[in-house]
Amino acid sequence: MAYLKFPLFLGRYVNRWLVSGIAQTPVHFTPVTLHGDINLWLKKGFSVHENPCKTEFVRARRARPAALPAVCEPVPGGRVGDGASPQTFAVYWPFDDISLDISGGWDAPTHIRAWAYTELWADEDGPAPFLFTTCGGAAVWLNGEKVLEFTPFTRNIPADTPLELTLRKGRNSVLVFFDDLAERDAAFLLRLCWQGTDAPPEQRVPVGAANPTLLEQGEQAMRSLCFSRNHYAAGPVSLRCENPFAQQTLHVTLPGISSTIIILLILRCGQLLNVGYEKIILLYGPSPYETADVINSFVYRKGLQEFNYGYSAAVGLFNSVISFILLMTVNKISTKVSDTSLF
């Protein structure tokens, strides 16, 4: 498994995630009549009351805690969610945002749901204090165990709650479900902020068989996007970016074919005792025997010229055994160093 590896952003924020698409279900409510100064938002510029549909939704949602998804494949392109309508994970590129933010607008009340996944790698076992933030509802699982159910539903206003994760040394999986009732615009986000004083864990995002270097260079290209000039009066608008692939051979091509290079090297090491003996045999004669003989020409001379088949077979077998030992040794070293081997 390949990973994108990052320290916590600004030393505090977990902002590197795999995030699913947004599952959307239109919600229908019983019509009711509102009373009071319901148009006060025209003066204040924002809603000052909770719609009855939101009250009904929140009551039902709090009575139905979030559960682990029926399907969860935490790699880009992997499925997550229930069996009927699973969503697909993709790498989330936060750039300099401290939150995972997939906000949007909906023209009718809609129950929106999404999943996020990341991994925290710790140097040792112990508690890790965080502050969790969202505007709707959320649930968090650490290494498959539910550690938080948080349902503030404070429409478009982030709410915080302390979250202490008991990390074990090495890999720790963090799975988050978050949802809300979208009423027109919806701030659909989550935030995980480190509150400790010791060294924070490292965040890693699994990317399956993808090349992490290539993904990082793609992010570098997107980060450098800018307009080609300050303003446009007419005509096409063009963007430009840095070329992160200037050293593609060194940083992309060679790492991409490294496993093939290693396999060919292993196979070649099994032939170290073999040389191009054909030219030696063509120029063969009794006088250069002592200085020009190699194992293959010696086997040829003893077996086919002197008819000493047993001795010739023994020498050939010895050559094969040494070659096999060399191949197995190099294969073993390759397994320990690069996880690439013949078997």
Query: For position 307, what pLDDT does the model report?
Result: 83
Residues 6 or more apart whose CB falls under 8 angstroms from that of 327 comprise 266, 267, 269, 270
Query: For position 48, what pLDDT does the model report?
Result: 54
Query: For position 192, what pLDDT does the model report?
Result: 97
Query: For position 248, what pLDDT does the model report?
Result: 59
Consecutive 10-residue averages of pLDDT for the chain (343 residues): 91 94 90 72 62 88 94 94 86 93 94 96 95 97 96 93 96 97 92 93 93 84 84 86 66 71 80 71 70 75 81 84 85 78 74
The residue ranges of DSSP E strands in the chain, in sequence order, are 2-6, 13-14, 17-20, 23-26, 71-72, 79-81, 87-92, 100-101, 104-122, 126-134, 137-142, 145-150, 159-167, 170-186, 189-194, 202-208, 226-227, 239-240
Strand partners, 81: 71
Q: What are phi and psi of 336, to 5 degrees?
A: -75, -35
| pLDDT tens digits along 100-134 | 999 999 999 999 999 999 999 999 999 999 999 99
Q: Where in the chain is the domain with CATH 2.60.120?
A: 2-30+47-210
Task: Say if residue 257 is exposed, middle or buried (CB neighbours under 10 Å; 0-12, 13-18, 19+).
Answer: exposed
Fold of 2-30+47-210: Jelly Rolls (2.60.120)
